[in-house]
């Protein structure tokens, strides 16, 4: 498929000899304007790739923090339509930072796959992570997305054994997201040594860059992951900053402050 902003970003970072910092936050959380400010501030705070959560009422694979973020988003009018609007507005000022939408299939299915892909391309979306679309359901969205020039990024987990790995890698592009523990988002961090062992196994099956997430909360943890993976993903810790903020302005500054700490951790590690 054609090269996306994601492909270009990972190629550039590889040449620079460092890993990527991937940040996640929920669209429209706590409201549209605040989340737009967060989004616009993230590249400056060191986010190399930005995952934007699409709110859903029933996020089966998420822990309490991201569930709550989705509900805050929906309560203030969040929807797939205004998530795409958010990306369009962001793109007016940034045509380089890759944007990945992450969420569940039903809102996309309700929007209509064809219309969604058309509007997502127009808005400047580069990749999709749809938690409840395993490779068994590739014909739903994965293959149409590829054809539209959008990366379909798949999750691999500790339960993804040798037998399963080829199915996970097949048709996926952009990067592979290794969820480092079996569990929901917000769970405790795994041992870096265990992650390293798993990555060794996965690298035999794919040349895609591998991002590692789940449980990373601080800069030093992000640095540990940056040593062994191509990217470190942080979500829950950033989303909790929104939840704990006393005002929308504080939400923006608090998220960006943590993003800076995390990206500094990732950038402190140089590889050959």
Partner 1 sequence: MSQQLNTYRAGPDETGHFGIFGGQFVAETLMPLILELNDAYEEAKKDPAFAEQLSGLLKHYVGRESPLYFAERLTEHYGGAKIYLKREDLNHTGAHKINNCMGQILLAMRMGKKRIIAETGAGQHGVATATVAARFGLPCTIYMGETDIERQKPNVFRMKLMGAEVIPVKSGSRTLKDAMNEALRDWVTNVENTFYIIGTVAGPHPYPQLVRDFQNVIGEEVRRQIMEQEGRLPDALLACIGGGSNAMGLFHPFLDDEDIDIYGVEAAGEGLDKKHAASLKGGRPGVLHGNRTYLLQDEDGQIAEAHSISAGLDYPGIGPEHSWLNDIGRVNYVSATDQEALDAFQLCCELEGIIPALESSHALAYLEKLARDLPKDKIIVVNLSGRGDKDIFTVADALGVEL
Active site residues: 51, 62
- Phi, psi (rounded to 5 degrees) for 209: -60, 145
Q: What are phi and psi of 101, to 5 degrees?
A: -90, 135
Q: Does 188 bind partner 1 (CB under 8 A)?
A: no
Q: How far is the CB of 247 from partner 1 (least distance, A)?
A: 26
The minimum distance between CB 189 and partner 1, in angstroms, equals 15
Angle at 181 between CA 176 and CA 186, to 5 degrees: 100
Considering CB under 8 A, how many residues would be counted as binding partner 1? 45
Please list every residue from 89 through 128 that binds partner 1, using CB under 8 A.
104-111
Of residues 28, 97, 160, 263, which one binds partner 1 by CB under 8 A? 160
Nearer to partner 1, 110 or 193 (CB): 110
Of the residues 41, 144, 149, 183, which one makes contact with partner 1 according to CB under 8 A: 183
Smallest distance, Å, CB 84 to partner 1?
12
Is there binding between residue 253 and partner 1 (CB under 8 A)? no
Indicate the residue among 199 and 258 with the shorter CB distance to partner 1. Answer: 199
Q: Which is nearer to partner 1, 155 or 222 (CB)?
A: 155
* Interacting residue with partner 1 among 52, 80, 169, 212 (CB under 8 A): 80
Task: Find the shortest distance in angstroms from Cβ 15 to partner 1.
Answer: 30
Nearest to 16 by CA among 24, 8, 25, 4: 8
189 binds partner 1 (CB under 8 A): no
Is residue 45 at the binding interface for partner 1, with CB under 8 A as the rule? no
Binding positions for partner 1, rule: CB under 8 A: 55-63, 67, 74, 79-81, 104-111, 131-137, 154-161, 163-164, 168, 179, 182-184, 187
């Amino acid at each position: 498929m054609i090269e996306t902003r994601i492909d270009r970003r990972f190629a550039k970072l590889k040449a620079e000899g460092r890993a990527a910092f991937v940040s996640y936050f929920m669209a429209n959380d706590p409201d549209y304007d605040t989340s737009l400010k967060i989004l616009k501030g993230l590249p400056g705070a060191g986010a190399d790739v930005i995952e934007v959560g699409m709110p859903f009422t029933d996020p089966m694979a998420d822990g309490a923090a991201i569930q709550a973020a989705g509900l805050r988003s929906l309560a203030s009018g969040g929807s797939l339509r205004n998530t795409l609007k958010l990306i369009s507005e962001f793109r007016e000022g940034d045509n380089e930072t890759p944007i990945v939408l992450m969420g569940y299939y039903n809102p996309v299915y309700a929007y209509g796959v064809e219309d969604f892909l058309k509007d997502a391309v127009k808005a400047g979306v580069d990749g999709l992570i749809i938690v409840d679309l395993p490779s068994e359901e590739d014909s739903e969205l994965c293959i149409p997305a590829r054809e539209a020039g959008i990366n379909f990024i798949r999750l691999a987990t500790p339960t993804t054994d040798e037998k399963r790995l080829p199915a996970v890698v097949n048709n996926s592009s952009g990067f592979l997201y290794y969820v480092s523990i079996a569990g929901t988002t917000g769970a405790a961090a795994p041992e870096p040594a265990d992650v390293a062992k798993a990555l060794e196994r996965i690298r035999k099956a794919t040349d895609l860059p591998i991002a590692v997430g789940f449980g990373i909360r601080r800069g030093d943890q992000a640095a540990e992951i940056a040593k062994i993976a191509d990217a470190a993903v942080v979500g829950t810790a950033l989303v909790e900053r929104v939840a704990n903020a006393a005002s929308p302005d504080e939400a923006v500054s608090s998220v960006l402050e943590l993003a800076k700490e995390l990206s500094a951790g990732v950038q402190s590690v140089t590889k050959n």
